[in-house]
Amino acid sequence: MLFPQLNEKRLLISLNGIWDFALGNETLDIEMLSAPLTAPERLYVPASYNDQKADIRFRDHYGWAYYQRRFSLPAIYDCRIVLRFGAVTHNCVVYLNGSEIARHTGGFLPFEAEIDRALLQGTNLLAVAVDNRINYSTLPVGNESSAMFGSGAPDYESVRQTKLNPQNYPNFDFFNYCGINRSVSIYTTPADYIEGVTVTTQINAASAEVLVSAALSDDGEAQVAILDRDGKEVASGTAGERIIIENPTLWQPNAAYLYTAKITYKNDCYCQKFGIRSVEVKGDKFLINGKPFYFKGFGKHEDSETHGRGIDEALNVKDISLMKWLGANSLRTSHYPYSEEMLSLCDEEGIVVIAETPAVGLNSKSYKNTAETHGRVIEDMIARDKNHPSIVMWSLANEPDTEAEEAYDYFMPLYELAHRCDPQGRPVTVVACNNNYVKDRVAPAMDVICANRYYGWYIFPGNLNAAQQAMAAEMEYFSRFGKPFILTEYGADAISGIHSAVPNMFSEEFHAEYLGTVNSVLDKYAFVIGEHVWNFADFQTIQGTMRADGNKKGVFTRDRRPKLAAHYLKERWHGIPDFDYKK
């Protein structure tokens, strides 16, 4: 599925803006899709609905919610007209003028539907029903009772004679923001059109071979012109045949260079940006363009005030700027595919990306229910994102139970599927976090070993001496596999403004010292090829005694003010080169 674009052959119309809205219940109400809403609220799209109103009903809603808007189009002849949603979280049903035109499961990838035959000449009514419920069969995973909140919880209704309202119990530590979270648009193509584009490159001594494959709606062939960054044509040929670019400029971390493949087919055209670069795992090194790369950066979230998980392109620009200020070069899309707009920005800015599915919270209760959905998400994510040069690795899941007997048999087919789907042959990983890591059945089987670890916080809380010893012991264990290792999460909660002469937990001083302690261990091991601090910025979570207005492990506050740890990382990371660290 191509990202929509406005060009000389295609129109693009945004449907973003203020929509009518109503909360529903656990039963889908078709009447709310077929007729105009009565006395609706008004909400902005794209954005999560949870924080847009000062009303707990929106914040804690469980079940279906309904969006509507009216629109009219000018007369458009001899074209396909397509309605596209960037992401609707988590499940949805779409009606146009009283008829169903689409259903979609999964809250972080796009879907679309041709609407030519459903359109009216005058005003059209578009309605979207969104279901935010999560359980053992969804990605991300939700628990199906309140038992996760401690002993006694299952007895509240019987012993304590308390009736609990239905609610989501996420098996993940970020808020379950829902709604139409990414842009809604209408675009057109000619009747005969370009359905998909795949770009692969191979670097030679003084040239590069570029293969542009085009999926077409009908017979015929497409022509390709390769344009440099200034729009000058540097090579041309036919789609499906190798095109040679002499003396190419490579895409490099923090030194991005993008070419454009302009594909023309009959009366259609599409412009696909791409970078020329290579990715390879060799021994215990991760090579980009043949050189050992060191990952410096973060796990982060699509999370902000008011927007929730809704796309915020200004904030994306700010976040990449702050990452570069720190000397960071990479991020992981924890814990779901990020917006295409963010990935394109990383392409332009030279930020390296580990792209992750929304498979967070997997355990023995969910393995038997999620495999089919998980496979489909991998296929759809790679199909969407395969051309982004910033993406160098796929992460199949975050913190699944990889000690479970069924874990290896669950993940290896998905690992093989990811390799089959990716035309660029990127490495594949799973981010593990089992306390008894010697029993991990999955992480050592991946191309790169990735693990999250919180010695000094959740394990040996406040004891940095013990944390240092435990981290070293774990590194000794993983060094025996001869594969590269990335510490994909480590961090401590620090509440901005809390200071302590003797570093104590939750103080900014402890936060900085904690990171320094872990890094002192990582620096001793050549097979450790990266450090991703958790988290880039404070983010919202479900309410609970473990969280004070959300997770405070951010190096920045939620409104992007640096904590003491940010200045520590700035000094450290500007002293570590992108390439050839730990020769």
To which residue do tokens 């842009």 refer?
183
Distance separating alpha carbons of residues 25 and 222, to the nearest angstrom = 49
Q: Which helix (H) or strand (E) is 573 found in, with range?
A: helix 564-574
Distance separating alpha carbons of residues 361 and 542, to the nearest angstrom = 15
Residue of 399, 403, 474, 513 marked active site: 399
* Residue 259 per-residue DSSP state: E
Cβ count near 472 (within 10 Å): 16
Residues 6+ apart with CB under 8 A from 513: 464, 503
In degrees, rounded to 5, the angle at the alpha carbon of residue 364 between the alpha carbons of residues 382 and 456 is: 85
Distance separating alpha carbons of residues 311 and 299, to the nearest angstrom = 17
Give the CA count within 13 Å in the CB-facing half-sphere of 20: 15
Give the CA count within 13 Å in the CB-facing half-sphere of 328: 29
Residue of 340, 403, 474, 489 marked active site: 489
**Which residue type sits at 136?**
Y
Phi, psi of 374 (to 5 degrees): -60, -45
How does strand 485-489 pair with strand 291-292?
A: unpaired
Q: Which of 233, 234, 249, 243 is nearest to 213 (CA)?
A: 243
For the question of residue 489 being annotated catalytic, the response is yes
Distance separating alpha carbons of residues 377 and 423, to the nearest angstrom = 17
Length of the chain as a residue count: 583
Q: What is the DSSP string of 15-83?
A: --EEEEEEE--SS--THHHHSPPSS-EEEEESS-STTSSS-HHHHT--SEEEEEEEE------SEEEEE
Nearest-10 crossing angle of helices 313-326, 340-349? 40
| Contact call for residues 494 and 515 (beta carbons, < 8 A) | no
Q: Which helix (H) or strand (E) is 507 found in, with range?
A: none
Does the N-terminal peptide bond of residue 46 adopt cis geometry, omega within 30 degrees of 0? yes
Distance separating alpha carbons of residues 428 and 356, to the nearest angstrom = 10
Does the N-terminal peptide bond of residue 140 adopt cis geometry, omega within 30 degrees of 0? yes
Q: Which helix (H) or strand (E) is 270 found in, with range?
A: strand 268-274
In degrees, rounded to 5, the angle at the alpha carbon of residue 111 between the alpha carbons of residues 105 and 113 is: 115
For the question of residue 531 being annotated catalytic, the response is no
Per-position b or e across 393-422, b if 16+ CB within 10 A of its CB: bbbbbbbbbbbbeebeebbeebbebbeebb
**Which residue type sits at 315?**
L
So which residues are the catalytic ones?
399, 489
